[in-house]
């Protein structure tokens, strides 16, 4: 396939992705009160082999040729068309996780540190323990983990993947409903941000520890810790230059934005090279950036392009790896139900009980549980990492995607029901 043909195919793929995402999002928001993230997750599955491939397999494979190419030597390589989509989706993820880090508000955590810590701790410890136990239970009983993955490695990965919360979705729902600055909203945001930051650090450690060679694992963990420390204690003071440039120029200029992107790509490359993935480096770098006018303008100049154009590509690429037809036995459907139950019990119920223990009433506690239980985009990121790193099989990937969609799908209707007819006293945030 020539470069010209690849561009033609790419333009058609992007057109289909954007059109379908926009249509499903309009329907989902208007009639089902769902967020863009939920709708785009569903679109990813729709355009993959689970629906489009089932209805028109030849057309689906022509538009999204996911089958590898067999070389004369017998080796297999990914279809270049899919490699291009993958590369674009990864750039979108890097920028998006940088923006999430940029929005990470440590002041919220300081204000509700004890209550948020209790909820976040429950939201990490309970699902991690249940996920790890499930991995030991399921290991060897079905083709869920790739050959060579040890039971401990499987337990670490599944535990970490169960611990993820869709913090961007949580924050968006609270802001859209006008309760982000209430006492209850502040607690939910603080707990969600602590949960996600902890989960991503946990994932980095898990990925590093899965290296076959102990010295490589130590190098990866040491490199990750060094990167975090360097970002906080060296990067944060140095990055104040971006605030000075913004003030000097009367706003973020092309020159300032270019410098930020250079730093972002370098940091993402470093953590990827260390073996703990680019999105972790992007998130940590975002947390180290200065706040105020600089951060606000960076978001304004990059957020729409990232969320409207680049992220849908990631959802569709994930959908192409999701094959619901692989879950084709009563045993596998039983495992799927078990995973969903563990996800809800370990995250939603545990966080609800922790919020109640922290002093919230039952309605607010249940709302926090529903918000923390949503996995969203964050779950798809960790699942794609597991698939690419050769930890999980396409079957377990599909089961986990089903869990992510269901737990995320539940959040909006539950929150709307629980908050119906309530009012909150504004906090001093």
Find the CATH number of the domain harbouring 131: 1.20.1530.20
The answer to whether residues 254 and 263 touch, using CB atoms and an 8 Å cutoff, is no
d(CA 344, CA 409): 12
Query: Do both 26 and 129 map to the same domain?
Result: no
pLDDT reading at 375 higher than 80: yes
Task: Look at residue 429 in the predicted model and tell me its pLDDT.
Answer: 36
Task: Look at residue 279 in the predicted model and tell me its pLDDT.
Answer: 83
Query: Do both 200 and 161 map to the same domain?
Result: yes
Task: Look at residue 109 in the predicted model and tell me its pLDDT.
Answer: 67
Phi, psi of 182 (to 5 degrees): -80, 165
Query: Do both 16 and 131 map to the same domain?
Result: no
Residue 272 domain-assigned (yes or no): yes
The answer to whether residues 382 and 313 touch, using CB atoms and an 8 Å cutoff, is no
Q: How far is CA 178 from CA 18, 35, 49, 190, 369, in A?
A: 29, 16, 39, 16, 19
d(CA 389, CA 25): 31
List the one residue out of 314, 236, 251, 220 whose CA is nearest residue 17.
Answer: 314
Query: Do both 56 and 109 map to the same domain?
Result: no
Query: Do both 117 and 7 map to the same domain?
Result: no
- CB within 8 Å of 390: residues ≥ 6 apart: 146, 148, 149
* Residue 284 belongs to domain spanning: 88-419
More confident call, 263 vs 216: 263
20 alpha carbon, distance to own chain's centre: 21
At residue 426, the 3 state secondary structure works out as strand
Range in 181-185, 188-192, 324-328, 342-346 with the lowest mean pLDDT: 181-185
Residue 73 domain-assigned (yes or no): no
pLDDT reading at 222 higher than 90: no
Total count of domains within the chain = 2
The two three-digit tokens of residue 67, written as one number: 């089958």
Query: Do both 186 and 135 map to the same domain?
Result: yes
Residue 74 domain-assigned (yes or no): no
pLDDT tens figures, 114-125: 888 899 999 999
Rounded to an integer, the average pLDDT of 177-188 is 73
Task: Look at residue 278 in the predicted model and tell me its pLDDT.
Answer: 84
Query: Do both 18 and 141 map to the same domain?
Result: no
Which one-letter DSSP state was computed for residue 71? P
- Tell me the β-bridge partners of 182: 426
pTM of this structure: 0.82
Range in 26-40, 217-231, 383-397 with the lowest mean pLDDT: 217-231
pLDDT reading at 211 higher than 70: no
d(CA 18, CA 10): 12
d(CA 117, CA 113): 6
Residue 424 domain-assigned (yes or no): no
Which helix H or strand E contains 388, and what residues bound it? helix 376-388
Which helix H or strand E contains 99, and what residues bound it? helix 80-102
Query: Do both 28 and 130 map to the same domain?
Result: no
pLDDT reading at 422 higher than 70: no
pLDDT reading at 38 higher than 90: no
Query: Do both 270 and 127 map to the same domain?
Result: yes
d(CA 259, CA 251): 14
Task: Look at residue 63 in the predicted model and tell me its pLDDT.
Answer: 94
Query: Do both 133 and 245 map to the same domain?
Result: yes
Query: Do both 185 and 321 map to the same domain?
Result: yes
List the one residue out of 69, 143, 126 whose CA is nearest residue 397.
Answer: 143
Residue 69 domain-assigned (yes or no): no
More confident call, 321 vs 84: 84
- CB within 8 Å of 59: residues ≥ 6 apart: 52
At residue 122, the 3 state secondary structure works out as helix
Residue 398 domain-assigned (yes or no): yes
Q: How far is CA 191 from CA 102, 111, 112, 170, in A?
A: 17, 11, 9, 10
pLDDT tens figures, 285-328: 998 999 999 999 999 999 899 989 998 998 888 888 888 999 98
Query: Do both 46 and 121 map to the same domain?
Result: no
327 alpha carbon, distance to own chain's centre: 23
Residue 75 domain-assigned (yes or no): no
Residue with tokens 């489009």: 52
d(CA 412, CA 366): 13
Residue with tokens 């409207």: 308
List the one residue out of 360, 366, 410 whose CA is nearest residue 116.
Answer: 360
Residue 202 domain-assigned (yes or no): yes
């Amino acid at each position: 396939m020539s470069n010209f043909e690849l561009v033609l195919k790419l333009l058609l793929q992007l057109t289909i992705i954007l059109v379908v995402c926009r249509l499903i999002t309009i329907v989902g928001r208007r009639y089902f009160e769902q967020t863009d993230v939920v709708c785009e997750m569903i679109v990813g599955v729709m355009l993959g082999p689970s629906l489009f491939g089932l209805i028109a397999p030849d057309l689906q494979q022509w538009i999204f040729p996911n089958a590898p190419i067999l070389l004369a030597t017998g080796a297999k390589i990914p279809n270049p068309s899919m490699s291009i989509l993958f590369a674009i989706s990864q750039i979108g993820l890097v920028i998006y996780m940088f923006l999430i880090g940029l929005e990470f508000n440590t002041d919220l955590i300081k204000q509700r540190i004890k209550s948020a810590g209790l909820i976040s701790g429950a939201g990490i410890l309970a699902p991690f323990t249940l996920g790890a136990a499930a991995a030991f239970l399921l290991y060897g009983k079905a083709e869920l983990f790739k050959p060579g993955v040890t039971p401990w490695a499987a337990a670490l990965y599944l535990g970490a993947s169960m611990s993820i919360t869709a913090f961007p979705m949580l924050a968006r729902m609270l802001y859209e409903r006008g309760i982000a600055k209430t006492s209850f909203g502040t607690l939910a945001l603080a707990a969600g941000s602590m949960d996600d930051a902890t989960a991503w650090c946990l994932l980095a450690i898990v990925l590093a520890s899965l290296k076959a060679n102990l010295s490589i694992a130590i190098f990866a963990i040491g490199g990750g810790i060094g990167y975090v420390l360097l970002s906080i204690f060296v990067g944060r003071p140095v990055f104040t230059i971006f605030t000075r440039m913004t003030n000097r120029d009367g706003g973020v200029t092309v020159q300032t934005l270019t410098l930020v992107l250079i730093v972002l790509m370098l940091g993402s490359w470093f953590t990827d090279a260390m073996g703990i993935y680019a999105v972790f480096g992007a998130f940590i770098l975002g947390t180290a950036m200065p706040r105020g006018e600089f951060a606000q303008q960076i978001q304004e100049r990059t957020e729409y392009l990232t969320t409207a154009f680049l992220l849908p590509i990631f959802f569709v690429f994930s959908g192409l790896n999701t094959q619901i037809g692989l879950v084709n036995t009563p045993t596998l459907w039983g495992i799927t139900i078990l995973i969903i139950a563990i996800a809800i019990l370990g995250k939603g119920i545990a966080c609800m009980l922790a919020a109640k223990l922290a002093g919230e009433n039952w309605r607010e506690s249940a709302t926090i549980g529903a918000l923390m239980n949503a996995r969203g985009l964050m779950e798809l990121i960790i699942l794609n990492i597991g698939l690419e790193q050769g930890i999980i099989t396409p079957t377990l990937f599909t089961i986990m995607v089903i869990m992510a969609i269901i737990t995320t799908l539940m959040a909006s209707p539950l929150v709307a029901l629980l908050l119906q007819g309530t009012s909150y006293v504004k906090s001093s945030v």
